[in-house]
Amino acid sequence: MTTPTETQPNALIDDFGRRVDYVRLSVTDRCDFRCVYCMSENMEFLPKPQVLTLEELYQVAESFSSLGVKKIRLTGGEPLVRRGVMELIRAIGKLPVDQVITTNGSQLTRLAGQLRDAGVSRLNISLDSLQADRFHRLTRSDRLQQVLDGIDAAREAGFERIKLNAVIMKGRNDDEVLDLVEYARDNALDISFIEEMPLGGITEHDRAEAYCSSDEVMALIEQRHPLIATTERTAGPSRYYRMSDSDSRIGFISPHSHNFCSECNRVRVTVEGRLLLCLGNEHSVDLRQVMRANPGNAELLRQTIIDSMALKPERHWFDLDEEPQILRFMNMTGG
């Protein structure tokens, strides 16, 4: 993969004065799970020519890094099922960025050590249930134990501040909030609870009916553990709380109940190379077209990214009564 260009800090500032220093890069739309809130059961995945090559993904990462981006999160789909992904991760590991990964955990027993050696600094691991049958219903896969073993492998590989992500849905897993908190406490993990977002049309459940607000989740936790608000941030939308008797942090990602757009510092790139300026809007720029029509023209790619900042909308407007608002599924968007 090519050598990095010189960094040009502060190049990415949008029309609302927000500095973009965080990119979420989707490296595949494919996944070994089919979580009910993320995918339909019979997903059609992209044909290979439409997907960015590993080299193109690196070019995108390198361009953002040279424009002052400090943090790159690899996501998907399941990033760790993309063939050759370790090569990309090792190359990005040489850029002056904090490389982090969001994963469903299914490949970690195999890859945790290699990820650590490649310089990945932190992992977010999704876990919505600790009950095997329910895990199966929610993810349409029966690999709970593999994920739990993967979490252990990540800790043994030396990853610190591993964060669990749990999407909480009423009547489906809201009765497990306290169990998930205990699991996080017992294993020295952080945990963030996420409100489900209306991305992609799903038939499995009614999102409005299943909606469980962060305030409701917080009230469930406070039945046992009083929460102390903190000002800690991790360059993401989580609001963090602590407990007096544990090092674990509890975060809440609340796209519905606590709008976080005014502090937005990030953009997303889909695996087709579409630079999305906002999770909840369709404003985008086609980086794949720029790269394929102008091979090797790094300057044009950088200028396209700089110019795209003018398209970043002020905020998203999610409304659960009008779903799906965004026809993209989360695996296309890069969660």
Q: What is the rounded distance in angstroms from the CA atom of residue 61 to the CA atom of residue 189?
A: 28
Structure tokens at 120: 């990945």
> Do the Cβ atoms of 59 and 304 come closer than 8 Å?
no
Q: What is the rounded distance in angstroms from the CA atom of residue 210 to the CA atom of residue 327?
A: 19
Answer yes or no whether residue 199 interacts with ligand SAM by CB under 6 A.
yes
Report the nearest approach of ligand SAM to the CB of residue 293 (Å): 29
Q: Which does 39 bind (CB under 5 to 8 A by kind): ligand SF4, ligand SAM, none?
A: ligand SF4
Given 58, 71, 77, 82, the residue binding ligand SF4 (CB under 6 A)? 77
Residue closer to ligand SF4 by CB (options 169, 285) is 169
Task: Report the amino acid identity of residue 148.
Answer: L
Report the chain's terminal Cα–Cα distance, integer Å.
26
> Do the Cβ atoms of 175 and 129 come closer than 8 Å?
no
Q: Site map for ligand SF4, 110-149, x if CB under 6 A?
A: ----------------x------------x----------
Report the nearest approach of ligand SF4 to the CB of residue 226 (Å): 31
Answer yes or no whether residue 196 interacts with ligand SF4 by CB under 6 A.
no
Q: What is the rounded distance in angstroms from the CA atom of residue 218 to the CA atom of residue 197?
A: 18
Answer yes or no whether residue 330 interacts with ligand SAM by CB under 6 A.
yes
Which positions from 19 through 38 interact with ligand SAM, judged by CB under 6 A? 31, 37-38
Answer yes or no whether residue 139 interacts with ligand SAM by CB under 6 A.
no
Q: What is the rounded distance in angstroms from the CA atom of residue 54 to the CA atom of residue 57?
A: 5
Give strand ranges (E) for the chain.
22-26, 71-75, 98-103, 122-126, 163-167, 190-194, 228-229, 239-242, 249-253, 266-269, 274-276, 284-286
Q: Which does 270 bind (CB under 5 to 8 A by kind): ligand SAM, ligand SF4, none?
A: none
DSSP string, 227-253: -EE-----SSS-EEEE-TT-S-EEEEE
Q: Which does 34 bind (CB under 5 to 8 A by kind): ligand SAM, ligand SF4, none?
A: ligand SF4
Binding segment toward ligand SF4, per CB under 6 A, in 33-41, 46-54, 116-124, 305-313: 33-41
Q: Could you check whether the bond before residue 324 is cis, i.e. omega within 30 degrees of 0?
A: yes
Residue closer to ligand SF4 by CB (options 168, 305) is 168
Residues that bind ligand SAM (CB under 6 A): 31, 37-38, 75-76, 78, 102-104, 126, 165, 167, 194, 196-197, 199, 330-331, 335
Give the residues lining the site for ligand SF4 (CB under 6 A).
Answer: 31, 33-35, 38-39, 76-78, 104, 126, 139, 330-331
